Structure 1
Amino acid sequence: MSTPEISAVVEPAGGEAEPSKVKKILLRFSPKEEHALVNKIDWNLMPLVKTLFILAFLDRSNIGNARIAGLEESFNLSSNQYDWLLTAFYISYFGFEWIGFLWNIVPAHIYVAVCIFGWGFFASLQSAVTNYISLFILRFILGIGEASFGPGVPMYLSFFYQRKELGFRTGLFMSAAPLSTAFAGTLAYFITKFADKTPIDSWRVLLFVEGLPSMAMALVVWHYLPDRPSTAKFLNLKEKILVRSRYRRRIEIDGEQVVDGSHGHGFNMQEVFQVLQDPKVYVTSSMFFLANIAYSSMPVFLPVILREMGYESITAQGMSAPPYIVAYITVIAVTFYSDKKKSRAEFIVFFASMACAGYVVLAVSRETFVRYLALFFVTSGFFTVVALVIAWTVNNQSSESAKGTGVVMLNTIGQCGPIVGTRLYPDSDGPYYPHGMGICALSMLLVAILAILLRRHMALLNAQSEKEERYNLVSADEDEASFRASTDSVVPSALDADEEYDEEDEEFQDEDDTHHTLFYETISQAEARQLREQYGFDIEIIDDDKTVDDVMKAKAKFIARKKAIKFKYML
């Protein structure tokens, strides 16, 4: 029989009166119901968030497609001037990373709607410029809009998902980057084909059209993007109570310091300073910096690289799509498996090494087919690494303030990478660009080395924490064996806390072990009354004093033991 689920009993939002004065009422959940809740959040949240990032990445990287659609000739741009157009975006993106703190302060539906309308407006406005300086300024402003959105999304997703669920969702979000780039090439192909039949410059039509969807999506975001799970319109009362239970278990089992947002948003400056003094956040930020050298440069230069391989401009637009489609599938598959294994470093090492090998081939090979094949390894490698590094950073911060600070630091340092990456492919290095390819290869190799070192360091910290836990537990009046014997009839040992619910284990669970396999949440009388009116006998509400007392005592023993359990780093 599989390890039974831990029963968690929590106080309702806002708190209750003393147990002796108010009778406690419990609502019972099954693991199936929690699994259904996560699926419902997935289907209502992830498509919207993913669409927004596709639009953001489309508006960011379409300058590369505009270049080979005639922008370069219209303004007689030199290679250095084009590089500065790319750099302008990342200078503002880097300089305005601090705006990401607003995710914890401003309601998400308002904040994101303003961001996406702003960057869509300025993206389309680029089509009306008449000189290089105007285009440079608009690219700078575009960077401010996107810096406000993309870097904070993984932290936003952590409001909805547990640590073991976050890697795959971050992968779903980040996979929008290769999908957008593939889509950008195909879309640019058809838009420029159409624009060739009009008196308007093809690049102007391209930039104008690709900015419009972002502005339109701002209205959708305002009405449908949830601020927190506790206020999500697509969740009913029972599901919101289960969300409350999930938040409590994140505190009691994972050691996180989170709030459900039902009483506003907060920010703890002490936790901010603690993160700023933590060397681990600078290691992951350095990994992100190195990965971003490749991540930022390839999408905007790939059409030019393909053109230099001998393809015509329009054909190069279409040929840029297949490597990104493969990368899209790879990111989703790898992040899903990474969540299953509850591991990040080993996947980062493998895919960083794969990208490094691809760049080496691009640097030394002169065969067109071999170079094109290497692009598949490169794009799948660095897109996957970026997604996993972001998830790893968020996973290993215990509170929302710490997660926010970690994400801001990750991007503040990491987004310096694109400033380097966008200057790696000058025309003078064409058609093979050996220096740029070599620098990217070295960067990805360093990512793999840093991941190995950080994993080893975190494993040592986890081992040290386990020794301290053992000492604390042995120091208690009950030793480990007697505690197991006294609590196994109600809750599993805290030593099994990491073996959380897995759908595959469900068929092995004993139906009689109700305390093991079901969750409990304290609810108010008003909530109980409303649930009974809605569900009738199809819901299990427990108000029997003896059963409630048994569960509450089990909870008290479990929480007492959990005080010895420390936050563990995900490796």
Structure 2
Amino acid sequence: MPPTQTPLHPDAPAALERRVIRKVSRRITPFIIVLYFLSFLNRTNVGFAGLTMNHDIGLTQAMFGFGAGIFFVGYIVAGMPSNLALQRVGARRWIALLMLTWGLLSSATAFATGPASFYTLRFLLGLAEAGFFPGMILYLSFWFPARHRALVTAMFMTAAPLSNMIGSPISGALMNLEGVAQLHGWQWLFLVEGAPTVLLGVVALFFLTDRPEQARWLAAEERAWLSGEMQRERDARVTQGRSRVWEAFKDRRVLLLALVYAGTSTGLYAIGIWAPLIIHRFGFGYFELGLVNAVPNLFAVITMVAWARHSDRTGERRLHVAVACLAAGIGMLMAGYATHAVVLILGLSIANFGINAAKPPLWSLPTQFLSGSAAAAGIALINAMGSLIGGTLGPMVIGKLRDLSGDYSLGLYFVSATLLLSAVLSAMFGAAKKAPMREGSGSAASR
């Protein structure tokens, strides 16, 4: 539950605020964590599948990296239209449709027969998943006042390291089903891990609520307070003149945040997609590999929530992003130099902390200076531009450098450089502000 802070308006009772935020957190947060868990698992389980799939369908490391990265081409193409559609038709219907579609496509990857079918399915999966993550960031801005948002975003985003932490042993175990029902282990992996997404897509249609004013699970007084609070925040942003789609394209802070996000995305998918292959060189079996790969993600889950809680309590965002990116860059350097499994896991743990801890305060920033359609477009634009560099080019470069050099060190150094650049750019964010941005509690949004 987000920490108690001074309400935005002195006449809003603190007890009422605590009660409402507690109820909203308990209702929304666990469910969307599970949804993001499945989203991240379905896009990164290809890292485990690649242990044997690459040989079975004739993929080189560079081709595998291209296939992993082409997911983000579709992701970028559909990101902004999907987020605008969510705002128009509502999260409940749109998220349910997306989940049904990407769950089926993820399972269908089990039937890839060569590079062309693998590339096609990954591209279509990117199209289907495009609206989910930015849509959830937008959705949280409908339900949580700004002063609570970094922590709840962190709780939501624990799903990414949780997906690697819990999904890795499961994926490793599924890989051992080689030959069962005349299917490869990697085919079982895609089939089994895609099915829950389809089922929860149906559940989402009935469980999600689009806006606070529609929340019958809140008492009338609670519903009125939250609706009024969120309306006051929207009105404040509209007063700043940043509520239309084109405002997102004009604001240079959107571009700067996209570049920062690109570094964190490069790191996130380097670990999510390539870590199993990197760790495998130390001789672990599939299930043991899954357990070892879970360690850096467990460390990230614990530390990123504490980092976001501190960001919310201080109201500071910019330096929380910069320091986390710096730590991630150092961790990747350690992983690149590692000649022992313990050093590799330590480096990946530090990198995992920094990559994941940077994101909640980063995603708290755009909704402080954008609202309405501009917020929907701005969040999607940051996500799309960041994913173009980090999600598309990152896996491709790592795969190409692996084929050229024979190991993964150069690829990890490349990832480290992008994270260190993100640290520098996020430190510059304050200079890019057009006007002072302060959170609902009155603390500075960026210092």
TM-score, length of structure 2 as denominator length: 0.91
Q: Tell whether 2:421 aligns with 1:449.
A: no
Q: Residue 408 of structure 1: which of 370, 373, 380 is its match?
A: 380
Structure-to-structure mapping, 1:269-348, within 5 angstroms: 271-348=244-321
Identity %: 22
Change (3 A) 1:130 1:457: closer
Q: Is the 8 A contact 1:424 1:435 kept in 2?
A: no
Q: Distance in 2 between matches of 1:346 and 1:80?
A: 36
Change (3 A) 1:436 1:4: closer
Name the SS for the 1:301 alignment partner.
Answer: helix
Structure-to-structure mapping, 1:91-490, within 5 angstroms: 91-98=73-80, 99-195=82-178, 198-250=181-233, 255-257=236-238, 271-397=244-370, 399-416=371-388, 417-426=390-399, 427-428=402-403, 432-458=407-433, 461-462=435-436
Listed as ranges, the gaps of 5+ residues in structure 2 are none
Equivalent position of 1:542 in the other structure: none
Change (3 A) 1:447 1:202: same
One-letter amino acid of the counterpart of residue 136, structure 1: Y
What's the CA shift string for 1:303-359, capped at 9, x where partnerless? Answer: 000012332344222211110111111121111221111111111121111111112
Change (3 A) 1:407 1:270: closer
Listed as ranges, the gaps of 5+ residues in structure 1 are 9-28, 259-267, 467-495, 501-567
Segment drifting more, 237-246 vs 280-289 = 237-246
Offset at 1:73?
Answer: 2.2
Q: Distance in 1 between matches of 2:8 and 2:340?
A: 56
Q: Which runs of 4+ in 1 moved over 6 A?
A: 2-5
What's the CA shift string for 1:25-53, capped at 9, x where partnerless? Answer: xxxx6320221011000000111111111
Q: Distance in 2 between matches of 1:431 and 1:313?
A: 22
One-letter amino acid of the counterpart of residue 6, structure 1: H
Name the SS for the 1:309 alignment partner.
Answer: coil
Aligned residues: 438
What's the CA shift string for 1:142-168, capped at 9, x where partnerless? Answer: 111110211221111100111111111
Q: Is the 8 A contact 1:354 1:381 kept in 2?
A: yes
Q: Distance in 1 between matches of 2:8 and 2:328?
A: 40
Q: Distance in 1 between matches of 2:99 and 2:446?
A: 33
Offset at 1:401?
Answer: 2.1
One-letter amino acid of the counterpart of residue 65, structure 2: D
Q: Is the 8 A contact 2:164 2:294 kept in 1?
A: yes
Q: Is the 8 A contact 1:396 1:570 kept in 2?
A: no
Offset at 1:57?
Answer: 0.5
Give the alignment's Cα RMSD to 1 decimal: 2.5
Q: Is the 8 A contact 1:275 1:402 kept in 2?
A: yes
Q: Distance in 2 between matches of 1:102 and 1:299?
A: 28
One-letter amino acid of the counterpart of residue 374, structure 2: A
Equivalent position of 1:479 in the other structure: none
Q: Distance in 2 between matches of 1:120 and 1:277?
A: 36
Offset at 1:128?
Answer: 2.6
One-letter amino acid of the counterpart of residue 80, structure 1: A
Q: Distance in 1 between matches of 2:60 and 2:421?
A: 32
Offset at 1:498?
Answer: 4.0
Larger Rg over CA atoms: 1
Change (3 A) 1:222 1:349: same
Q: Distance in 2 between matches of 1:218 and 1:5?
A: 35
The structure whose RCO (Cα within 8 Å, separation 6+) is larger is: 1
Q: Distance in 2 between matches of 1:3 and 1:126?
A: 50
Q: Distance in 1 between matches of 2:168 and 2:363?
A: 26
TM-score, length of structure 1 as denominator length: 0.72
Equivalent position of 1:6 in the other structure: 9
Say which structure is richer in helix. Answer: 2
Q: Distance in 1 between matches of 2:406 and 2:363?
A: 33
Equivalent position of 1:265 in the other structure: none
Q: Distance in 1 between matches of 2:258 and 2:92?
A: 28
